[in-house]
Structure 1
Amino acid sequence: MIRILLVDDHGLVRTGLRRILEQAGGIEVVGEAEDGASALRLAKQTRPDVVLMDLSMPAGMGGIEATRRLVRLVPGVRVIALTVMDEDPFPDRLREVGALGYLTKGCPAAELVDAVRSVARGGAYVESALAQKRMLADWSGSAVTPFAALSAREMQVAMMIVDGCRTETICETLSLSPKTVSTYRKRIHDKLHIKTDAELTRAAYRFGLIRDQL
């Protein structure tokens, strides 16, 4: 039996995921969390085999940071990132923090189940449509998104800025000093060739990292 922890800030999404997984057989949902902090607490209590982690939780700790902490807190746990976004650089950044799977919320139910079973066995899984898209981009020589130049930590800070988080919130969530956050902000601006946080938000919208421009 594969033990699953669901992490998503939308109750309806969790209900849908639970129904799909439990109907598949051989899978048990042992807990549900609506944010990163709750996910860490529940994972420590329930010791799941696999965690389905939403990347787009607006409040508190984001999915990338929660994944980074989770794989350290619960040795052996395997994380599959679940997101509405289908663009780089998330697969690379997630691999850096320890995730083994990457799916969009629009993937077929059967592929969700396949991903869970594959990752539970210790394999890695990227949604087939995304894997094909990346392969075709490599063959065509298409330029990758400029966000691919950011490190995993820089990406975390960048997405919190885009989400409208204040420096104090970023410091508290990521355990960083204000000076360090300022340094990351400058690196992000330099790597993306921008000068303001407003330009960062527009770039995130342009390259598909957020759905609606703020």
Structure 2
Amino acid sequence: MAIEEGNFVKLTYTGSVGDNVFDTTSEETAKEEGMYNPQAEYGPVTIRVGSHHVIIGLEEALVGKEVGDEGDVEVPAEKAFGEHDKTAVRSIQTSQFREKPKVGMRIEVENREGVVVNVIGKRALVDFNHPLAGKTLTYHYKIEEKVEDANEQIRGLIKLYTGRTDIEFSVTDGTAEFLLPPAITYDRRWMVWRGTLIREIFEYMKDINEVVMKEVFKRPEPKEMPPAEAIVEAESEETGE
């Protein structure tokens, strides 16, 4: 059956500007392009078509296609990261920076991320546009499969928003219970996107009426003590006796 808005699908893709790849779900491509991140999770991503989980131009190309279809789509700036907005380029006093600003440095000012494009005297020119604003993008994509199972849909949303695969959960009698790894509150990406994840679970999974999140700490495994004979032997070797 053709892909429709509201369907969950597993998708692989590679995005580029001209000959330069800027994003990919392929580990092999990432290595070939010199952009491999050992901390990243490569492989198909689960998205809900129509929810803007990928850029609009790529998402629109999926509607009407079938599982297994692949192809290339050219995405204009207005359906990608928008046109370059001149008003988003601001002059800021260098005294507001923690360190001396340099051209190309990425900075955060007033909860907005930008890049320093010029430094003149005691002022720095900062561009707060997305780095790909104003660019026409090309995506090669493949629709790997539809995702019908609600648990797999939730698992896909967790990975999509947080990049994590170590969050366990179960759904029972309308309650989704998440077992969170220790120290997850120090994960900035989790803290930023947790609310969106919960909102979309309620929006897309009509049978879920409650979400419970528990931070779980497990007793560490006891360290094995070496046998007494081994301790005596080691001490003898150290003393030369």
TM-score, reference length from structure 1: 0.25
Which is richer in helix?
1
TM-score, reference length from structure 2: 0.23
Which is richer in strand?
2
